[in-house]
A and B are shown apart, each in its own frame.
Chain A
Amino acid sequence: MALRTTFTSKYLKLITRRFIFNELSKKAFFSASTSKNSDGEYADVVISGGGMVGAAMACALANNKVLKNKRIILLEVGRDTGDYVLPEKYSNRTCALSPSTVRLLSSFGAWQEIEAMRCHSVSRMQVWESCADSMITFNNQDMSESLAYIVENDVILAAIMRSLKRMSDKVEVRYKTRATAFSNIDGKDPSEVKLPYVGLTLNDGTVLKAKLLIGADGMNSVVRKEAGFHTIKRDYGQSAVVATLILGDTTSNDTAWQRFLPTGPIALLPMSNTLSSLVWTTTPENAKHLLQIPDDSFVDAVNDALWHEREKNALAGQVLDFFKNVFHTIFPGSESSRQLPPTVMNIEEGSRASFPLSLIHSSQYVKPRVALIGDAGHRLHPLAGQGVNLGFGDVQCLNEILTKSVQNGADLGSLTHLLEYETERQRHNVPVMLTIDALQRLYSTDVTPLVMLRSLGLHTVHSIPLLKVQMHIIINTL
């Protein structure tokens, strides 16, 4: 019923607009402008892609008082799924949301929606490896504040969409819609006269003229391709296996575990007191094998990956022990106890899945009147669970830059301002990507000198409080 009313009112609005419009054109005022108007609708911002990042962008812009007079349109290929009903069963696709992402989502009420549904806080993180005894743990001083929140992707999206529906007067969401052709976009025809908008032809034939087109259409972004952005791709030759694990004997499941194996890291992210989400990066062959074996063999394989000691490097172990003693003399009391990972009892039926991993990075995030956010601009290794946080960071930054540009009366598509967004985000995203890429390479080997170096390095960071605080700050701001 409610849906119908909104539909009717929208329709009425459309009719009135049409009517006024016809009246105007009849009198042929501004002859040129009106005839231009008839072959396209004007919009200030068009966001292509209504995924987590795209929808969050729409919410952030709609919630921005400075932009209240702007026309914002969100294009989503999928249909309107209606209100989300939280399923009993946990989904196997999850994200680790950082505190800064939580701040962004809170600003337009989506975080409150998530909390009302479900999320699980992580107050401690332990990273260790299979080749040596070194490890590092992170936690806030009294374990009271969260390092991150583990939330299912479906829940995040549903929460953002609910916030978006509340702001439906400020953002127009068009479902089952995508742009089929672009005009006036950079990188197409250099001789073409650049008109001050990007033209989008939608699959229903309507033409939109947008001052700014935001590409939030994921790793295979059409906007990125059409605008001719140069991209760097690297195939890791690895696959990620995900599953929902049922744990035994845990009192409070609030630690995220990550163990580096030579084939790739295995991570357990807590979803509830008895459930954890598994993200296991491994070789494609092993991933295929893991998907085929029966549930109990899979549970054994996970436990083995978390617990086995057969890859221990004796030499590296001895050197590390020596260094530990030295460190202990210099910084007494810096040693924190090692906790043991939980034992996996079972997995949720049918929750196993796998997908190939690759790194994609666009050399630029902006062109005149086009900006890329989220996976459209950068997709990284799921190692640190940072992918979606970088995307939400893009949203936050672009929103701030657009606010500034509106306050200066600038065109929303103005390259001068968009470049600021690019600079700021690349300064942030590129080091994160390089670090994660380097970590991935460093830990995918079992050559003795490298094992020794990395375990010493990790132990050094772990033992020197100042370094650890720095690292912590970096992780928190991600």
Chain B
Amino acid sequence: MNFCRFCTTAGVRSSIKRLAAAPYKLCYLDSDKCNKSYCNSESRSFCNLGLLSRLKTNDSKYPLTADTFNSLNPKKQEKFPLFFQQIRQHTNLGAISADEKANIFQRPKAQSTIDEEEVSKFSGLSALWWDEGGEFEALHSLNELRIPLIRDALVSKKNLDQYDPASPLQGFWILDVGSGGGILSEPLARLGASVIGLEASEETIKIAQAHLIHDVQIRDSVKYIKSTVEDIALTQEGKFDAVVASEVLEHVSDAQTFVTAACKLVRPGGSIFFTTLNKTQLAYALGIVAAENILHLVTPGTHDWEKFVPPTVLQHMLDKNNFATRLIHGMWYNPLSKRWSWTKDTSINYALHAVKPSTGEEGDVWKERKP
């Protein structure tokens, strides 16, 4: 059995529940020790248990803050003195700020909080991102294609008894690369997935958070992190059920490094999704000249044709990472109806789905695991 020790200590469970709501939720990125069968049955925030399990192995690389435990119910502290004593021993790093910790331990810094002042400051900008008829209209309506694509590909890995129509992606961990304002992250979270949004710009993260905060149901299942795929791949190898890089690849300077890093993050049996622009004359004419300069669907200068990646090249890059490409579909945007539709022709926009082969012991059946 691979229970973390605190899961097995019955009396402590309730205090752990309290802890679970603690501000270092992001620590789940580091936990994989706890046996899922117990943690699964409770709220997702139990993933902190995995973190606690590291105390046992004396792994000081992943610290806890002393303040958190001190703020707990004193009666509980009396009741389980050993537990708290042990925790205090390992929480002497509490004085170090989040930024410093991120530097010391080279962990992606969690942008987990946003204060009230920032909410009002960024609300205006987030309204721009989220105006379905505004600047990002095409991205909003692209959800009608990419969400079903991701949903159906992932759900097909579940057993019938694991499937819940109200939250089909329950239990899946998805990394949304280039999450921007959260246009893709939020719908995925609404389908039940736990989503980590990677975004390079801190301001954009704040914008995304200013919107997310109003959605009580999903605000705890989406986390935006300021980092890059290459950085996060150093610590989070093989942790995600799916990595999604939607409308990102065409902005990346070194596609090969990007794809390799993204592939590394996918766990065996997991999926990787791309949507991007093909490198064709037609893509230049429609994707850049028409979309940017004539129709003004996108801000001029958004795209650089030189960076576009043809599907065959992308497939080759995935092959080198031992990924099997399952599907390449063309996508067509109708500027009059402002809706996307699937098409056979991949010469402008296309979507690609590839899977990492599952290792022998994994089997083909999907099991929930926390990264």
Taking Cβ atoms with an 8 Å cutoff, the residues of A that contact B are 23-24, 27, 29-33, 35-37, 42, 44, 65-69, 193-197, 209, 211, 368, 406-411, 414-416
Contact = CB atoms under 8 A, between A and B. Distances in A.
Interface stretch (B90-98, B137-145, B280-288): B137-145
A31 B117 CA distance: 11
Contacts of B123: 193, 195
Given A195-B123, A196-B130, A408-B144, 14 more contacts: A30-B113, A32-B213, A33-B216, A44-B217, A66-B166, A194-B131, A196-B214, A408-B143, A408-B148, A409-B147, A409-B190, A410-B190, A411-B187, A415-B133
14 contacts: A23-B18, A27-B22, A27-B23, A27-B71, A36-B213, A66-B166, A68-B166, A195-B123, A196-B211, A196-B215, A209-B214, A406-B166, A410-B190, A416-B141
B341 interface: no
Given A33-B219, A195-B127, A411-B186, A69 B167 contact: yes
A415 B186 CA distance: 16
B114 interface: yes
Contacts of B216: 33, 37, 42
Interface in B166-189: 166-168, 186-189
Interface in B35-55: none
A66 B163 CA distance: 12
Find the residue from B124, B144, B186, B216 having the highest chain A CB count within 10 A: B216
B330 to A, nearest CB: 20
Contact of A36 (B147, B165, B214): B214
Contacts of A42: 214, 216
A148 to B, nearest CB: 34
Contacts of B130: 194, 196
Interface of B: 18, 21-23, 71, 113-116, 118-119, 123-124, 127, 130-133, 140-141, 143-144, 147-148, 151, 165-168, 186-191, 211, 213-217, 219
Q: Please list the 3 inter-chain residue pairs (A to B) with the smallest Cβ-Cβ separation, ordered nearest first.
A: A409-B187, A409-B190, A409-B191
A65 B164 CA distance: 9
Contacts of B132: 368, 414-416
A66 B190 CA distance: 12
A194 B127 CA distance: 6
Contacts of B165: 65-66
Given A31-B115, A32-B116, A411-B186, A197 B166 contact: no
Contact of A33 (B124, B190, B213): B213
Nearest to A211: B215
Contacts of A35: 116
Contact of A69 (B71, B151, B166): B166
A68 B192 CA distance: 13
A115 to B, nearest CB: 30
A410 B148 CA distance: 11
Nearest to A192: B127
A421 to B, nearest CB: 14
Contact of A29 (B23, B143, B211): B23
Contact of B116 (A31, A65, A69): A31
Given A65-B165, A409-B147, A416-B144, A197 B213 contact: no
Nearest to B145: A408
B21 A197 contact: no
A211 B211 CA distance: 13
Given A195-B127, A209-B214, A408 B147 contact: yes
Contacts of A408: 143-144, 147-148, 151, 187
Most buried by B among A32, A36, A406: A32
A197 B116 CA distance: 17
Contacts of A194: 127, 130-131
Given A29-B23, A36-B119, A193 B144 contact: no
B362 to A, nearest CB: 27
Contacts of B219: 30, 33
Nearest to A419: B132
Contacts of B144: 408, 416
Nearest to B125: A193
B100 to A, nearest CB: 21
B140 A193 contact: no
B166 A409 contact: no
A432 B167 CA distance: 38
A378 B123 CA distance: 35
A349 to B, nearest CB: 53
Given A65-B166, A409-B191, A414-B132, A29 B115 contact: no
Given A31-B115, A35-B116, A409-B191, A67 B23 contact: no
B210 to A, nearest CB: 9
A7 B193 CA distance: 35
Given A29-B22, A196-B215, A410 B166 contact: no
Contacts of A66: 165-166
A32 B119 contact: yes
A32 B114 contact: yes
Contacts of A23: 18
A193 B211 contact: no
Nearest to B193: A409
Contacts of A407: 148, 151, 168
Nearest to A197: B214
Nearest to B68: A27
Contacts of B151: 407-409
A430 B184 CA distance: 36
B297 to A, nearest CB: 16
Contacts of B191: 409
B81 to A, nearest CB: 22
Interface centre among B18, B130, B189 (most CB of A within 10 A): B130
A42 B211 CA distance: 14
A62 B11 CA distance: 38
A191 B32 CA distance: 48
